[in-house]
Structure 1
Amino acid sequence: MNATALAIGRCGLVTGVGLDAPSTCAAIRSAIDNFQETRFRDGGGEWLMGCEVPFAEALRGEARLLKMAARAIAECLDGLERRDCESVPLLLCLAETERPGRIVRNDGQFLRQLEDELGVRFHAQSAVIAQGHVSAAIALHQARHLIDQGGVSHVLVAACDSLLVGAALKDFEERERLLTSQNSNGFIPGEGAAALLVGALPATAQGQLGCHGLGFAVEKAHIDSDEPLRADGLTAAIRQSLADAGCGESVLQFKVIDASGGEYAFKEAALAFSRLDRTKRTEFDVWHPADCIGEVGAAIGLVMIAVLKSACEKAYAKGSRVLLHLGNDNGRRASMIFAWHPAGA
């Protein structure tokens, strides 16, 4: 491998189908969703469908995001001593700053409030990554740098987001991105939070999921562009991640993508891989967890990784070498190469 591989250790999840990682992953494995009518109406006067986290408390805004994030992080860090947590940087993934309806008003203040909610102060190199879907891959890239050169052994990567916000739903509906009574080519909005504890992958890794490659690029023909889609950006990101992992596409056995509805993301994913695929395959599964939890914004990348980790641990994954990729509406693309290292191998 050309770069330090990251081991995906503990994880925590809070979604519309489960308030922890085991229940969320079990629901997604069983294709169970929690899509229900929300308190919002579409332009045709019909109730919008959504996937809301089933909290007993009626929390809204930043307070709701804080509770989701704190619960996911607490699950991830359960059992660790407080002094151990204080030596771990937190990289918090949030929605893009320019997205309409973004809940968090001040990123730095939100990070401090999260620490207060958890009752712990994380390492001084903690930071917020406000890059939407691709935040997860950027956070893993930064985590690798911190472990290689920052003198830390582990990094906590977390994310929280919600699209069940009036301003966000209005914007997406006007752009014909939302699934409504008048548009079948769209997504169902959701919300959620996720957390992963990552460290350097040991040379004798056993029973661990490793991230071996990361790649980034920009797609000019993004979903709001008038340019014809050739998937140049995603293709470049996948190529870079394969080069970073020191392998070719022939080792890949299935992929997990962030598509949440609408034909664009599925078309782009198929087109990009077809430009790279030179291997005769009898099958190549495509997993998209948003089918069960809805479009959860910045949290989707970590959810995908947690779902993959659970699938590998419980031996229902479709292979041990996996491609994951992410994309933002503004054209930013990210690709990740993962490998499962089974116990006793």
Structure 2
Amino acid sequence: MSKPSILSVGARSPLGLSALQTSLVWRSGKLVPTPVEWQTSRGHRIGSVRAACLPDDLVGTPRLVALAAPALCEAVAGAGDRARGAPLLIATGEPKPGFEDAPSLETAMSIALDAGVIFDRARSAVIGMGHAGFGLLLERAVDLVTRGGAPAVIVGAVDSYHHEACMKWLEEGFRLHAEGSENGIIPSEGAAFVVVTPGMTGGMARIGAVACGLEEGHEEGEAPDIGHAMNEVVRRAAATVGARPVPWLLTDMNGERHRVRRWSFVKIRNKTMLDPEQTVVFDGPDEMGDPGAALGALLAVHACVGFATGHADGLSSAMIGLSSEARERAAFVLEAA
């Protein structure tokens, strides 16, 4: 059986108005955090990475819709008639201050309406699950096109931290990178979508494997998270990569100590598969900040554009590894078409 393909992609981010622009600027390292009007409890200005095309007073679900609709429109336009009436799977961030609305199909309908996209509501879904959410939905998309008879599935993610209450929530949890707090993230935002189809020629990439799992331990629980599930999904996904070691690893390493520790465990346990001398590692948040649940979809788009334009420097496959703040873990492999 031929592997499912990614036929087309779309993205909207602080780095660009399209998938191509986002990927090229991301690769060139043009991250420029800018201050917002809000301050930390210590009186310091807060900096973030946000889409310049959106006004700062646009917050909450309307901001998510404004980010996602152009990205969805771009991905569907690139697929032509293949994506018309396809199931729409969207990952959003876990509920947080300023973004309390529970994920629902109403969100998908608002995004699709703004994008002018017709989708199969009966087989669509919206989940709130942090970084790993896109990986879980990509697994569902692969199942729909390989066993469910769907000629195409649109899968993507959108998230943002741009809200005063959300910034304060990050600070209170010691998760906001700021003066006096080095263990936090640089808040960002974005949206990206890919159109998944059964195996075919002419796509941007093939989906080599998707592996998902649940971590037994947790950062805040009695049993520590020492990366067992992350290690397992990375190994299962890597088993499909013909080349050894993995040529290109794209991670969600965002500077938080638990995520750094988790990835350190994975790399130490898999030195043959993830050779520090040969595997090219791209830590996505380094040059975009952390766009939350959108990161997995944005990394997938980055790999696809890299294959299509050549900025992947001849690398033939890429592994994307993702872990949510809760227990969900995911890894998937994309291969140059």
TM beyond 0.5: yes
What's the offset of the Cα at 1:238? 1.3
- Match for 1:91 among 89, 92, 96? 89
Partner of 1:259: 253
Pair 1:340 & 2:336 matched: yes
Separation (CA, whole Å) in 1 of partners of 2:36 and 2:297? 25
Contact residue 33 and residue 293 of structure 1 kept, 8 A: yes
Contact residue 38 and residue 47 of structure 1 kept, 8 A: yes
Q: Aligned letter for 2:76?
A: L
Alignment CA distance shift 1:165-1:84 (3 Å): same
Separation (CA, whole Å) in 2 of partners of 1:80 and 1:252? 29
Contact residue 73 and residue 116 of structure 2 kept, 8 A: no
String of CA shifts for 1:171-229, please: whole Å, max 9, x gaps. 22222111011201211001111111111233xx4673112111122224433346555
Contact residue 7 and residue 202 of structure 2 kept, 8 A: no
String of CA shifts for 1:8-27, please: whole Å, max 9, x gaps. 22111111111111211111
Q: Aligned letter for 2:207?
A: C
What's the offset of the Cα at 1:111? 1.9
Q: Aligned letter for 1:187?
A: I
Alignment CA distance shift 1:79-1:270 (3 Å): closer
Unmatched tracts of structure 1, length 5 or more: none
String of CA shifts for 1:288-343, please: whole Å, max 9, x gaps. 222222111111001001111112222232521222100011121111122213xx
What's the offset of the Cα at 1:142? 0.8
Q: Aligned letter for 1:110?
A: T
Separation (CA, whole Å) in 1 of partners of 2:113 and 2:307? 34
Partner of 1:313: 308
Separation (CA, whole Å) in 1 of partners of 2:308 and 2:20? 12
Contact residue 216 and residue 240 of structure 1 kept, 8 A: no
Partner of 1:291: 286
SS of equivalent residue, structure 1 residue 9: strand
Matches within 5 A, 1:5-84: 5-55=3-53, 57=55, 58-78=57-77
Contact residue 75 and residue 193 of structure 2 kept, 8 A: yes
String of CA shifts for 1:103-146, please: whole Å, max 9, x gaps. 53452222222232233331131111222211111111111111
Partner of 1:277: 271
RMSD: 2.4
String of CA shifts for 1:69-125, please: whole Å, max 9, x gaps. 1111111122666x754421111111124x444253452222222232233331131
String of CA shifts for 1:212-263, please: whole Å, max 9, x gaps. 11112222443334655532121111123234x3x57824112000122223
Q: Aligned letter for 1:276?
A: N
Partner of 2:230: 234
Matched pairs, number: 333
Contact residue 316 and residue 335 of structure 2 kept, 8 A: yes
Q: Percent identity?
A: 24
Alignment CA distance shift 1:143-1:183 (3 Å): same
Unmatched tracts of structure 2, length 5 or more: none
Pair 1:115 & 2:109 matched: no
Moved more, 102-111 or 4-13: 102-111
Alignment CA distance shift 1:210-1:79 (3 Å): closer
Pair 1:224 & 2:220 matched: yes
Separation (CA, whole Å) in 1 of partners of 2:49 and 2:302? 18
Separation (CA, whole Å) in 1 of partners of 2:109 and 2:141? 20
Partner of 2:148: 150
TM-score, normalised by the number of residues in structure 1: 0.88
Alignment CA distance shift 1:172-1:149 (3 Å): same
Partner of 1:191: 189
Separation (CA, whole Å) in 1 of partners of 2:78 and 2:215? 42
Separation (CA, whole Å) in 2 of partners of 1:69 and 1:120? 12
TM-score, normalised by the number of residues in structure 2: 0.90
Separation (CA, whole Å) in 1 of partners of 2:60 and 2:276? 47
